[in-house]
Amino acid sequence: MPSVARTIVDTLIAQGITHAFAVPGESYLPVLDALYDVDATLKLVTCRHEAAAANMAEAYGKLTSKPGVALVTRGPGATHAAIGVHTARQDSTPLLLFVGQVGTDMLQREAFQEIDYRLMFAQVAKRVVVVDRADRAAELTASAYATAISGRPGPVVVVLPEDVLAQEATAAVTEPIVAAEPSPDASAIATLANLLAEAERPVLWLGGYGWSDEAVANVAHFAEDARIPVVTAWRRKDRFDNAHPKYAGELGLGSNPKLVERVKSADLVVAIGTRLGEVTSQGYTLPAVPTPAQKLVHVHPDGDALGAVVRPTLAVQSSVRLAAAALAELGFTVDGERWAGWAEEARADYEAWIEPTRVDAGVNMAEVIAHVDATVGADAIFANGAGNFAAWLHRFHQHRRLGTQLAPTSGAMGYGVPAGIAAKILHPEREVVVVAGDGDFLMSGQELATAARYGANLILLVVDNGQYGTIRMHQARDFPGRQSGTALTNPDFAAFARSFGAHGATVERTEDFPAAFAAARAAGVPALIALRTDPDEIAPGRRLS
């Protein structure tokens, strides 16, 4: 009979899980031991902080659509890892967080590091599963997996009482666990066709989860035939080829005002996959909550996301994949005159918007991103955390393919470095570029040790403006002349990187960046370039002063 720990590991392997991201703890030693035997199949990645382990697992979930697996110890490990659970929740990413627990013989005495995870994760996890019986370990692990990928995917916490882990269990669940996939009904598609036939200024709005290359291609065919401009939701830019003539930009923070106006003036919005969350919807004004000014077709796989916040003209519960196929099949072609020029104007606005902006001093991030874009391949993966620095990446970088953007819609700082490391471990053949702020970077910079250990040769661009710039910006607006708590004293980031065996360089002038970037790409080790930017250049085209 296998142990409970081995049964859990075998159940994950049977579902095709290839990596687990961990900080070890004595509370789950039997799981670490079970992994000893299967290292070639399920690779253990040891991290330096549980927030990073959880974020790496979250990025794994985004990249594979399978639950990312993080393993952490009880109490302190679980509390550190909570940020990854939150991001997985907001981003609808499947995640399994395995947490050690005190033995059942000690529970409910506030034993060493004891936490009731059902209470702790009540709002952030989709579910908390406690493996409290050895004979149900396989069943409960499979059940947690099913919950993580079903409906709206999300994080599930699996709690492992210490005494149960070492007991004997029944065999692993080996049959594939699949999620149900809702399909659009024919009458809904017919109604959509009628709405299109009556429209004069339609837009397509893409976001959320459940995309595939085929779904992106199907939506592109539909957009081409119908000549509809395509907008992406915040931090979901890789749901459409940004170089496609129908692509009109992203709606989120710091969006193109012309795009906002265009979508406002649209008379039909077809939203596919996106929840139309606060940031995407410009603070629930576009479409307006609860009743939008325009006709709204809202297609979403999760019934709970339909009608609860914004009231659509037509709600369609469907997976993105099947909705995209139905749209392509519809064969809707628009006749000559209707909305002629509408998509072309939207595209022209977008192209003008991504022209690099100028800066008065320091490195110009607009030109840095333009250079990176022109240099790396279409399959390069970009990761970032939270801060104004990300505005340059989101605005000036064009994503060409699905699966090239790792960006937390939860707005979590410290996400980019671990996400980039996970991406490079999964796809060593692809280039991975992380853009981080000086504040953002030091929330997970210690993971350079993990990158070095696993040969994850990513490239890190650290935007050093000596401040928590985003907060400084809000402060300057709301409390002018009173800077409080937002100035930073930074280390020499390049030297910091070199201390891990990584390549480190500092760039002070935009014109020095291309050579520094070439050296970083050729380094053969993880590479960091610190970019000295002017603190006054607070956002693309905007100055604090």
Ligand X SMILES: Cc1ncc(C[n+]2csc(CCOP(=O)(O)OP(=O)(O)O)c2C)c(N)n1
Binding site for ligand X (CB under 6 A): 386-389, 411-414, 437-440, 463, 465, 467-471
413 binds, among Mg ion, ligand X, none (CB under 5 to 8 A by kind): ligand X
Q: How many helices (H) and strands (E) does the chain have?
A: 20, 20
Interatomic CA distance for residues 294 and 278, integer angstroms: 18
Q: How far is the CB of 441 from ligand X (least distance, A)?
A: 7
| Residue number with CB closer to ligand X (393 or 458) | 393
Q: Among residues 282, 262, 271, which one has the least CA distance to residue 350?
A: 262
Q: How far is the CB of 442 from ligand X (least distance, A)?
A: 8
Please give the radius of gyration of the chain, using alpha carbons only, rounded to the nearest integer.
Answer: 24
Distance, in Å, from the CA atom of 20 to the CA atom of 9, rounded to the nearest integer, reads 10
Report the candidate in 5, 10, 14 with the shortest Cα–Cα distance to residue 175.
14
Q: Which amino acid, 385?
A: G
Partner from Mg ion, ligand X, none binding residue 411, C-beta < 5-8 Å depending on class: ligand X
Q: Phi and psi at residue 156, in whole multiples of 5°? A: -125, 130
User: Residue 500: which residues within 8 A CB-CB, separation 6 or more?
Assistant: 448, 449, 451, 452, 526
**67 vs 387 by CB, closer to Mg ion:** 387
Q: Which is nearer to ligand X, 141 or 388 (CB)?
A: 388
Q: Cα 361 vs. chain centroid, distance in angstroms?
A: 32
Nearer CB in complex with ligand X: 209/493: 493
Q: How far is the CB of 80 from Mg ion (least distance, A)?
A: 23
CB of 536 to ligand X, least distance (A): 12
As measured in angstroms, the least distance from the Cβ of 356 to ligand X is: 17
What whole-number distance in Å separates Cα of residue 100 and Cα of residue 126? Answer: 18
CB of 493 to Mg ion, least distance (A): 12
SS3 call for 461: strand
Select 75 or 437, whichever has its Cβ closest to Mg ion.
437
Supply the DSSP string of 230-275, one letter for each residue: EEEETT-GGGS-TTSTTEEEEESTT--HHHHHHHHH-SEEEEES--
Q: Tell me how far, at minimum, the Cβ of 440 lies from Mg ion, in Å.
A: 7
Alpha-carbon span 204 to 327, nearest angstrom = 11
Tokens of 456: 């994850």
Q: How far apart are CB 544 and ligand X at their closest, in Å?
A: 11
Residue 31 vs 363, nearer CB to ligand X? 363
Residues at the contact surface with Mg ion, assessed by CB under 5 A: 437-439, 465, 469
Q: How far is the CB of 391 from ligand X (least distance, A)?
A: 8
Question: Residue 96 binds which one of ligand X, Mg ion, none, with CB within 5 to 8 A depending on kind?
Answer: none
Three state DSSP letters for 335-386 = CCCCCCCHHHHHHHHHHHHCCCCCCCCECCHHHHHHHHHHHCCCCCEEEECC
**Residue closer to ligand X (CB basis): 381 or 413:** 413
Strand partners, 270: 204, 297
Spatial neighbors of 245 by CB under 8 A, at least 6 apart, are 343, 344, 347
Within 10 A of 509 (CB to CB), how many other CB atoms are there?
Answer: 10
Q: 388 contacts which partner out of Mg ion, ligand X, none, CB within 5 to 8 A by kind?
A: ligand X
Closest distance to Mg ion from the beta carbon of 535 (Å): 8
Q: Which residue is nearest to ligand X (CB)?
A: 437
Cα 422 versus chain centre, distance: 12
Please identify, using beta-carbon distances, which residue of 229 and 437 lies nearer to ligand X.
437
- Closer Cβ to ligand X, 49 or 298, answer by number: 49
Nearer to Mg ion, 287 or 469 (CB): 469
